[in-house]
Structure 1
């Protein structure tokens, strides 16, 4: 496949607006690409224009699962210098929503599989692509594939999320909850005639945050390089300034670590709210929107070590754009990585991936890696990927996948 065709596949993926949905269109496009290459591929619709996709080359065991998601986050068009859904070339940068997170990684997996088949490279096992919907919210596509048995018999899992020349083998868990406070409307000159839903919710949040802080104080996971994180991300309440509000809602996101379980954190919410409601005459309810566990893979896993060995020549020749260097420097500092090292580090990260759904039965010790083209510009305006890195990762995957299966034979 020529360079221009590889860029065109990424261009077509970026063009499909799969912002928190519409992954069926992405899956249908990829199926046409796979069908042309005569690769076994199945689109698995999930309703409302959503779908997963599964494709395989090779046969038998071992099975190497590789994965990427088809959705992207939303855009604020005013913040972009160009149409976010038109892949734009500026020097070596390919700019567009999803170019980094993670349509470049997904395209690299697809192209690597096609070229391995076209070149008739012997495979001592199966390469199984699991392309998912809904990763950016709740990772439901991966949960569906796992429930349908597509992770059964898998020896190793590699997710092509953007890491650049770093390997991630551990992710924090997540707990997302919604608190709803119900009160009674009254004129603000007579507050005792009402019941202020906003005031109750604000005070309850303060108490919850204090109790969570006490529970998690001084507890950190060294692999993930983080403690439990607590964020109040959404708050709605009230309609006008002279009316006591009868309704308020808040959404809280927590990043979790193995040392403080999701269940313990949720229980703290429940206990605090029960005590607060009883003491203050409030009516605040809790809904758990998502609870996924942290995943910590094997730091000595076969795939991880193979990536470090085969990826070293690519890292040694890599050139980074000024944008990539700036973003990578900031990200490396926040993750505790040394700059300038010509070695591919293996680290944990507070962010999450579909692995938390795929590895639900093996949350610790799996042969699991996250390794894909990218520069930490995910979720930002003017998101971009280095064309050189994108193309290099395709070549690297074509070395890596057969080598892994051969090592396992």
Structure 2
């Protein structure tokens, strides 16, 4: 397959507007590629969501089974802030612009093309390569959850997710995530007669302070050597409709990034206890809704998957000319990971705060598994004018193909 043909596959993927939905269109396109190549595959709809689906493709047989994964959804765009059409792959020099180029249709395309070329060359390898293309990674990870529940990750020996890391960052651990909305229901009244109402905002602020205090006590001094500490952010808040009226409704949105030492369930139990006690002892009416609940994943830093990929990728990485800005980004990533004497152009094995589909696919193997996120991309995911390096995209196709042959 020529470089132009490879870029064309990425172009077709970018043109599919799979913004938090419509992954079935992506899956059907990938199915046509696998069908033409004679690679076993199936599109698996998400129950009750007709426009959403996963795709599973498999080649080889027996163990080891290497699961490789990429999500098919992308985040929304503000077209006015783009200098190009976000759903048209637009080259400018070495950069290919478009929504999802970095996060993560380039990584998904690289995995697919590596499998297609491996089939075309009739190369032999030991074991099985199983592609898990997922729906809904950006919001809730329902696709990965459905695949795990159906048993597609039960027998795998290693998991590679082609999330954007660039050449040097090898991500083997991710924090978990909790997205929580806390709602306070009160009673409206004129602000000159507050006793006739029930101030939803005041109740919300009080219970929020109690939650922060209790979680702070639970997590104080507890850190993970790879992932660091638990993070709690207040990201949204709303309430009331005008300044001279007692508010009858208020909500706050919390985002927590969690570590293995303090589980999501422990944090949720603290919140539930605080809310239950508050509702019983005050006139407050507080409720809690959890919209995201994914666990932390701590892989094996010494797993063969990591050592093999570093060996394979090193010649490609050595060819790169690192700018001062890129060197600084690598240095800051190293510092965040606790590496003080990092030299740019060295491989960095790290844990990050962001989650991946591994949180669902490895729900039964949260620690010590052979897991790695490693793929083409840069620091533009979710940003306006998202892009990926064409050269890096093509390099990762070769890196993945070599890895598959080395099974």
Q: TM-score per shorter chain, which class?
A: over 0.9
Mapped pair 1:156 → 2:158: yes
- Say which of 359, 362, 376 aligns to 1:359: 362
1:283-362 residue pairs with structure 2 within 5 A? Answer: 283-319=285-321, 331-336=333-338, 340-362=343-365
Shift of 1:199: 2.0
In the alignment, is residue 10 of structure 1 matched against residue 10 of structure 2?
Answer: yes
Task: State how far apart, in whole Å, the 1-side matches of 2:51 and 2:7 are.
Answer: 26
Q: Does 1:112 align with 2:142?
A: no
Say whether the 8 Å CA contact 2:330–2:344 is kept in structure 1. no
- What's 2:21 paired with? 21
Q: Following the alignment from structure 2 to structure 1, what is the Cα–Cα distance between the partners of residues 256 and 306?
A: 28
Task: Tell me how far 1:320 sits from its aligned partner.
Answer: 5.1
Tell me the equivalent position of 1:372: 375
Whole-Å separation in 1 of the counterparts to 2:380 and 2:41: 31
CA distance in 1, matches of 2:50, 2:324: 40
Contact 1:312 1:343 in 2 (8 A): no
Give the stretch that moved more between structures: 333-342 or 133-142. 333-342
- Work out the CA distance in 1 between the residues paired with 2:353 and 2:199: 36
**Alignment match, 2:141:** 139
Q: Which residue of 2 aligns with 1:122?
A: 124
Distance 1:4 1:111, change over 3 A: same
What's 1:83 paired with?
85
Q: Which segment is superposed worse, 386-395 or 313-322?
A: 313-322
Query: SS where residue 77 of structure 2 aligns?
Result: coil
Which of residues 182, 190, 195 is equivalent to 2:193?
Answer: 190
* Residue 196 of structure 1: how far off its partner (Å): 1.1
1:60 aligns with 2:44: no
Aligned length: 403
Aligned-residue CA RMSD (Å):
1.8
Q: How far apart, in 2, do the equivalents of 1:35 and 1:326 lie?
A: 44
Give secondary structure in 2 for the equivalent of 1:28. Answer: helix
1:284-327, Cα deviation, whole Å (9 max, x unpaired): 01122232221111111011110111111111012457886676
| Paired residues for 1:369-408 under 5 Å | 369-403=372-406, 405=407
**TM norm structure 2:** 0.94
More displaced stretch, 370-379 vs 389-398: 370-379
SS in structure 2 opposite 1:104? helix
CA shift in 2, pair 1:328/1:342, >3 Å: closer
What SS does the aligned partner of 2:136 have?
coil
2:262 to 240, 260, 263: 260
Judge conservation of contact 1:93–1:321 (CA < 8 Å) in 2: no
The alpha-carbon deviation at position 241 of structure 1 amounts to 2.5
SS at match of 2:157: strand
| Residues 340 and 97 of structure 1: CA distance in aligned 2, closer, same or farther (over 3 Å) | farther
Alpha-carbon distance in 1 for matches of 2:331, 2:15: 30
Q: 1:324 to 1:32 in 2, by over 3 A?
A: farther
Alignment of 1:197-208 (within 5 A): 197-208=200-211
Structure 1 residues 180-232: Cα deviation after superposition (integer angstroms, max 9, x where no partner): 111101112211111111221122212211221222122211111x2101112
Matched, 1:173 2:154: no
